[in-house]
Amino acid sequence: MYKVWIDAGHGGKDPGAVANGIQEKDIALKVSLDIKKRLEAQYEDVQVLLSRSTDIFLELKDRTNKANAAGADILVSIHCNAGGGKGGFESFRYTSASQNSIKLQDALHRSIMAKLGGIDRGQKAQNLHMVRESKMPAVLTENLFVDVIADADRLNLASVINAIIDGHVQGVATYLGLTKKKKEDKPVTLRDINVVSAWAEASWEEVTANGYFDGKRPGETITREEAAVVMNRLRKNFLKLIADVDGDIKELDERLQEIEGKKRTYQS
Ligand SMILES: [Zn+2]
């Protein structure tokens, strides 16, 4: 079971970059939660652990301490960029990153760019806390610029957020060599309506022999009018039975009608 640590940047009192009505912390959280959902739903043997799953503030050292203590196999820190310019996507590894960190960056950067499109600002190395203090291969992604109008417009599109999420999911899966879950092909076993279920066999035989049902299509659904016919057969037989034991059938019918709250003439 692989452990993937997804770190949603910023949170709580630290909104990260804010511009054009977008807060970096919100995009980071949404993307992170959905990466977890999709990775675990689509791939076998992978567990996604999160620095935060709500809008709370965390110090950087708390994030890397938790990921290191959990023994995560990889760490990906999710951010949005700011600083103007033309916008686009870029990713960061540590300045003296391990070979595996570089491989992880390769896999993530490629798959995110493939899904996201637009300006590729490149695979970069920088002395950032999240990639320096993580003991496992670690990459930080900067997913478009909140202060570049064209990027902000894109970040407001569900399709673009989806591309960012899927790009991360695909990149992690490629790096770890995850196996896709087989779709559960539930065999469609349509019942034969002409064959009575084992549990109903005895009753079906009896009601057929007694003339309430015709013995055909035991598995078919019943209509209201069919139910009415059966109920009425049963009702009349009960009246006859009681009349045989105790007096006049019309009188019994009238008494039953009183109980039923309706009046009509008995028809045999
Ligand atoms: Zn950030």
Number of domains in the chain: 2
Quick one: 142 and 75 in the same domain?
A: yes
Residue 18 resides in a domain: yes
Q: Return all residues near 163 (Cβ < 8 A) that are at least 6 apart.
A: 112, 115, 116, 117
Task: Tell me if 111 is assigned to some domain.
Answer: yes
Measure 141 CA to ligand 1 centroid, in angstroms: 9
Tell whether 107 and 208 lie within a shared domain: no
In this structure, the answer to whether residues 170 and 228 fall within a common structural domain is: no
Pair 104, 203 in one domain: no
Which pTM does this prediction carry? 0.69
Q: Is residue 187 part of a domain?
A: no
pLDDT at residue 237, rounded to an integer: 79
Same domain, 134 and 76: yes
226 and 167 share a domain?
A: no
In a domain, 97, yes or no: yes
Is residue 123 within 8 A of residue 88, CB to CB? The reply is no
Residues 133 and 239 grouped into a single domain: no
Domain assignment present for residue 122? The answer is yes
Name the residues around ion ligand 1, CB cutoff 5 A: 9, 16, 79
97 shares its domain with 19: yes
Do 240 and 158 share a structural domain?
no
Within this chain, do residues 127 and 31 fall inside the same structural domain, yes or no?
A: yes
**Rounded distance between C-alpha atoms, residue 205 and residue 195, angstroms:** 12
Query: Ligand 1 center to residue 9 CA distance, Å?
Result: 6
* pLDDT in the model for residue 187: 64
Two structure tokens written together for 197: 């279920």
Asked if the structure places residue 222 within a domain, the reply is: yes
Q: Which of 24, 44, 142, 254 is catalytic?
A: 142
Distance between Cα 96 and ligand 1 center (Å): 21
Decide if 133 is catalytic: no
Q: Is residue 192 part of a domain?
A: no
pLDDT in tens, the chain (268 residues): 999 999 999 999 999 999 999 999 999 999 999 999 999 999 999 999 999 999 999 999 999 999 999 999 999 999 999 997 899 999 999 999 999 999 999 999 999 999 999 999 999 999 999 999 999 999 999 999 999 999 999 999 999 999 999 999 999 999 999 999 987 656 667 788 888 988 898 889 888 888 888 889 999 888 999 999 999 988 887 887 777 777 787 887 777 777 776 666 666 5
The CATH number for 117's domain is 3.40.630.40
Specify whether the CB–CB gap between 115 and 51 falls below 8 A: no
Exposed e or buried b per residue across 198-218, where buried means at least 16 C-beta atoms within 10 angstroms of its C-beta? eeeeeeeeebeeeeebeeeeb
| 183 lies in some domain | no
Q: Left if phi > 0, otherwise alpha if psi is -120 to 50, otherwise beta: which for 120? A: beta
Collect contacts of 63-69 with beta carbons under 8 A, ≥24 apart.
63/7, 63/130, 64/129, 64/130, 64/133, 64/134, 67/5, 67/7, 67/134, 67/135, 67/136, 68/133, 68/134, 68/135, 68/136
Domain residues for the domain of 240 are 198-260
